[in-house]
Amino acid sequence: SHWPDAKVNNLIQLFKQISYHRNNVVYSQGEFAKSIYIVKSGQFEVIRKARYTVKGEETNHRMLLG
């Protein structure tokens, strides 16, 4: 489907451009999300912390997603 230009322009007005430096944490797991992020350029990592039990021992694990 096609969005009319007026609707697209209205949506664009809601966006703001923010730049982040290397190693900045933008969002931490478990925080309430107040925004969505669209990456215009550059790279990012998504890391999810997980807890699981192996042979009765609880372990923390970091997974790199993407």
pTM across the whole model = 0.53
In the chain, how long is the greatest CA-to-CA distance? Answer: 59
Strands 57-65 and 46-54, sheet pairing: antiparallel
Entry field: residues in the chain? 66
- 34-to-26, 29, 60, 63 alpha-carbon distances in Å: 11, 13, 27, 23
Q: What is the pLDDT of residues 33-63, one digit of tens each?
A: 888 888 888 888 888 777 766 676 666 666 5
- Position 6 pLDDT exceeds 90: yes
Helices (H), 1-66: 5-12
Question: Which pLDDT belongs to residue 39?
Answer: 87
